[in-house]
Structure 1
Amino acid sequence: MCRCLPPDRSGGGSVNAGKLIVGAILIVAVAAGAFLWYTAERAFYEPVAFQPGAEIRLVPLTGDQPEAIVVEAVEGIDAISSPIKFRACFTTPLSLAMLTETYRDYPAAEPLIAPSGFDCFDAQAIGQALESGEALAFLSEPEIHPGVDRVVAVFPDGRAFAWHQLNGNLAE
């Protein structure tokens, strides 16, 4: 007498299909994550060329028209995909005392995080320096885009940073 095992009906084939489906989902998730990272960190950003007429400017206390200030070693990035992607790093020989006596401050300055590839701009360090009073913020260009101001923060050693920030005018 033969004691043969009945055919396997445990669904072993569906286990392999399940592994394939999970594997496919993981591959799609990794690809989507890489795409999102690329669009947030690399895509759309272009270096900004600063030439005469595209200088770093500040709004004086006695007027509304921004004036160019003396700057050196300007590095900048921007993107046409959003009005708040602009960031710049530079130095200025102007003292904080002279700047505060001549140009409008910007009390609600909150630097925005820059892409990791733009190493000179550390939003967290700039924000802490602004909160502690080590650095001071100035209005650079009001309404550079609707609802957006350009802000400049300057440190006592002449290091300076610029970014675009929402100003709340479009909240209505």
Structure 2
Amino acid sequence: MMAKFLAAFIVICAVGAGAAIYYLQVYAYYEEVKLRPGLDVVLVPQTGDDSRAIAYGDFQAIDASSSPIRYRACFTTELTRDELAQSYTVLQGQKPRIAPGWFDCFDAQALGAELEAGTATAFLSVKNISYGVDRVVAVTDDGKGYVWHELNNCGKKAYDGTVVGETCPDLPVASQ
């Protein structure tokens, strides 16, 4: 009888821990980002480093303080991909990160397919928004826009343990 009780207790604890981990990963740390008109959607011009705002509407975004790559946003714009590509820095080979299922405006698989098919273009929004992390904006042919954070080369090196090198900024000092 004691063995059945212990087995049931272990199963209940495992299910509870699994549910807690799922909740923490998908729901707990995310917060809705407050709208900052004129600052939410910016792109880096081909001729400079300072990001410039573009016209946008229907903006919604989520972020989490637990990780610099959890930011996701959606918006609409009247500007075409070609108009933007003439003035702003285009990125190649970008793959959007999956958003939580409840943030239904951001479909990473569909956006990834559009980027591969050439019906969407990715642009650099902010370089090193957090150490080793860039903000990426993608715009589709139908005027929908998406924003996410992606590790840049310095971030990839810093997080996989290889030598960062001279081309990367100094690593931030961790406060203790």
Q: Same fold (TM over 0.5)?
A: yes
Report the identity percentage: 48
Which residue of the partner structure matches residue 11 of structure 1?
none
1:79 aligns with 2:58: no
Aligned to 1:151, the other structure's residue is in SS state strand
Aligned to 2:153, the other structure's residue is in SS state coil
Question: 1:1-172 to 2 correspondence within 5 Å?
Answer: 16-52=1-37, 54-170=39-155, 171=157, 172=164
- Ranges in structure 1 where 5+ consecutive residues have no aligned partner: 1-15
Cα shift at 1:83 = 0.4
Q: Runs of at least 4 residues of structure 1 off by over 3 A?
A: none
1:80-125: CA deviation from partner (whole Å, max 9, x where unpaired):
1110000001001001110110100111311111111101101111
| C-alpha spacing 1:118/1:155, structure 2 compared with 1 (3 Å) | same
Q: Which moved more, 1:52-61 or 1:42-51?
A: 52-61
How many Å separate the matches in 2 of 1:159 and 1:39?
29
Cα shift at 1:53 = 5.7
TM-score by length of 1: 0.88
Which residue of the partner structure matches residue 6 of structure 1?
none
| Aligned residues: CA RMSD | 1.0
- Ranges in structure 2 where 5+ consecutive residues have no aligned partner: 158-163, 165-176
Q: Could you tell me whether the CA contact under 8 Å between 2:38 and 2:54 is conserved in 1? A: no
Aligned to 1:169, the other structure's residue is in SS state helix
Q: Which moved more, 1:43-52 or 1:30-39?
A: 43-52
1:6-40: CA deviation from partner (whole Å, max 9, x where unpaired):
xxxxxxxxxx1111111001100111011111111
User: What is the letter of the counterpart of residue 6 of structure 2?
Assistant: I
Please say which structure displays the higher CA radius of gyration. 1
How many Å separate the matches in 1 of 2:93 and 2:117?
14
Cα shift at 1:55 = 2.1
